[in-house]
A and B are shown apart, each in its own frame.
Chain A
Amino acid sequence: MTRCPAAQLLRVVAITGIGLWSLAPIGLGVATSLSTQADVQAVPARWLPRHAMLDAYRSLLGGTGDVRAGGTVSESGAFAHAMWNSASVTLMSTLSILCVAISAGYAFARLRFPGRGALFWAIVATTVVPVFTVVIALFGLMADAHLIDRKLGLVLVFVSTTTPLAMWLVCNNVKELPTEPEEAALIDGCTRWQAFWHVVLPQMRSGIAALSAIVMLSVWGEFLIPLMLTSTSASKPVTVLIPEYVGKYTTNYPLLAAAGVLALLPPAVVALILNRYIRGMLSGSS
């Protein structure tokens, strides 16, 4: 294939542009997190810190930070706790969503039962309802169930909002698998459940990996629901905690940036590990 040099150039420019567009804020965040408050507020703007220092991280994780990082902030407990909340809620939600979505998706793809189509589309249709239209009702419901400011409450809400989409993806994934190995397993002495466990599930490995990545990333980044349903460090995730660092009169920018960078790490790791599978699923060859 011969490429026109102009097209080639355009391509390079476009890719560079997109790369800068998405990576520059992160780079700026990292730079800010390594700066002092004085660096950040310097006029004219100073993009890189004069002396990189980890004070902001120290004050987030290790208790008292240096004055240069923007004063002593005893945030250690709160931030670590929020990270833990985020991680545990994400993990529990993802596991629950996967369990429900995989079994439901498989059932809708393979089993024949009355009302299958109607039920399937009724469940999938719930994904088009925007969360903000139901927040008030949801809050009332959770309050009645005494699930405000509890991780269980968050997990339940995430399971109910994310499962339909996940189930839909699983259902399509299963439909693409050949039915014969399953039937061979049924003839080989398996119950439906055993055939699913021994034969279908192993075939779905990459699809499930991609799905767990998608679910984990979306749950980790949830903001509106936890903002509404959590109030203390008992359940508050990092996404809700970070905006609280924005003060009314002053904002500790290095601290804010450091918190952002740290909150970015777990999803980045997940994305890097499962990247191969996600690409596979998006391009339709899981």
Chain B
Amino acid sequence: MRDISLKVEPGELVVLVGPSGCGKTTTLRMVAGLEAVTAGEVRIAGRLVTGLPPRHRNVAMVFQNYALYAHMTVRANIGFGLKMAGMPKREIRGRVNQAADILGITELLDRKPRQLSGGQRQRVAMGRAIVREPAAFLMDEPLSNLDAKLRVEMRAEITNVHRRIGAPTLYVTHDQTEAMTMGDRVAILRQGALEQIGTPLELYERPVNVFVAGFIGSPAMNLLPATLDSSGDAWYASVGGSRLLIPTKTRAALQPFAGHDIVLGLRPEDFVSTEDLREGAHGVIQATVARAESLGSELLVYLTMNDATTLPLTVRLDRRAALQQGAPTRIGVDLQRLYFFDPKTGAAIR
């Protein structure tokens, strides 16, 4: 891990996201005190905790596999931290009941973890965390062992519980949908380094580099090799035999790349079909339909460009778009929403 600087504000939920092996879980474990920090410091609620063992950090953690105490009942699981803290039995009972009430698991309190379903175990793990009223919550891919439907449900539930409790939360996931829907801010990690941190919309609208641009958004942004042509007043990005007019606002930043290669980023959702194409607002790309998938609400179309490069292109179109497989088509792209990247460094040009 290098140069990670991250601050979670009170009441905020920050999501750490990145491909596997990027160091997001390690970061979380360093905050928890389960992993030693070789350089730098960790503060929780303003208190320096870098060298402290986990028990003195006043954090709660929810693990991917729930990490419930298999030999204890749900009640004992949730109350374990309080018992360790030496809280009187009656008070523990009250707080456990309250937490169980919030999570809707009151009727499960006397069961053992093995008698519970995945979603129920997840709730117990949450209960164990919230009952202690810690200074911060740490969640390590808490939803990845659940099926798709339950995941959506628990996503909303965790967000609700977080709003209700209001403690700062650091949430690790590899699922960008989770990151975008749950995070107040999202931090993107790659190979132990922080690539970008910002609100979900910031990451989507203004990615700092190719990696973030390709990681956020589904389907992923089309990243295409292009050349920058300037013919007098008009600047064009040439890609796969098509020329896209570059809006005047971005010309200044693109100045050093005139006549050179750049990486052009096009979001699948910024395309329109031939019928909706408006000259001036949209640039035109000539391509052939390789495959079209209907998602009901929209059409996911995979194209190849009509020149020697046959670059692949993924676009999302209105569900009424009339397209034929194998047929050449003209597809429009919103010229105000072009992304440019330096082909050498991958950094965004804007």
Do chains A and B stick together as partners?
A: yes
Residues of A within 8 A of B (CB): 178, 180-181, 183-191, 194, 198-199, 202-203, 205
The CA of A124 and the CA of B70, in the complex, are separated in Å by: 31
Q: Is the CB of B85 within 8 A of A189?
A: yes
- B37-90 CB contacts (< 8 Å) to partner A: 53-55, 57, 59-61, 63-71, 80-81, 84-85
Q: Is the CB of A189 within 8 A of B70?
A: no
Interchain nearest-CB distance for A42 vs B (Å):
59
Q: Is the CB of A190 within 8 A of B84?
A: yes
Q: Is the CB of B55 within 8 A of A178?
A: no
| A187 in complex: contacting residue of B54, B66, B70, B71, CB < 8 Å | B54
The CA of A189 and the CA of B87, in the complex, are separated in Å by: 12
Interchain nearest-CB distance for B68 vs A (Å):
7
Given A189-B81, A189-B84: A202 and B54 within 8 A (CB)? no
Point out the residues of chain A lying under 8 angstroms from B121, CB to CB. Answer: none
Q: How large is the interface on B (under 10, 10 to 19, 20 to 34, 35 or more residues)?
A: 20 to 34
The CA of A188 and the CA of B71, in the complex, are separated in Å by: 16
Interchain nearest-CB distance for B49 vs A (Å):
12
| A199 in complex: contacting residue of B53, B69, B132, CB < 8 Å | B69
Q: Is the CB of B71 within 8 A of A183?
A: no
Point out the residues of chain A lying under 8 angstroms from B34, CB to CB. Answer: 183, 186-187
Q: Is the CB of A187 within 8 A of B85?
A: no
Q: Is the interface of A mostly helix, strand, loop or mixed?
A: helix
Given A181-B70, A202-B71, A203-B71: A187 and B59 within 8 A (CB)? yes
Q: Which residue of B lies closest to A201 (CB)?
A: B71
The CA of A114 and the CA of B63, in the complex, are separated in Å by: 29
Q: Which residue of A lies closest to B57 (CB)?
A: A187
Q: Is the CB of A189 within 8 A of B55?
A: yes
Q: Is the CB of B68 within 8 A of A181?
A: yes
Q: Is the CB of A191 within 8 A of B55?
A: yes
Interchain nearest-CB distance for B295 vs A (Å):
37
Q: Is B313 an interface residue (CB 8 A)?
A: no
The CA of A145 and the CA of B63, in the complex, are separated in Å by: 53
Q: Is B187 an interface residue (CB 8 A)?
A: no
| A184 in complex: contacting residue of B33, B53, B61, B71, CB < 8 Å | B61
Residue from A184, A186, A194, A199 with most neighbouring chain B CB atoms (10 Å): A184
The CA of A181 and the CA of B34, in the complex, are separated in Å by: 12
Q: Is B128 an interface residue (CB 8 A)?
A: yes
Point out the residues of chain B lying under 8 angstroms from A194, CB to CB. Answer: 84
Q: Is the CB of B61 within 8 A of A187?
A: yes
Give the 4 A-B residue pairs with the shortest CB-CB distance, closest first: A180-B67, A188-B81, A189-B84, A202-B71
The CA of A184 and the CA of B55, in the complex, are separated in Å by: 10
Q: Which residue of B lies closest to A183 (CB)?
A: B34
Point out the residues of chain B lying under 8 angstroms from A205, CB to CB. Answer: 71
Point out the residues of chain A lying under 8 angstroms from B71, CB to CB. Answer: 202-203, 205
Point out the residues of chain B lying under 8 angstroms from A199, CB to CB. Answer: 69
The CA of A184 and the CA of B128, in the complex, are separated in Å by: 10
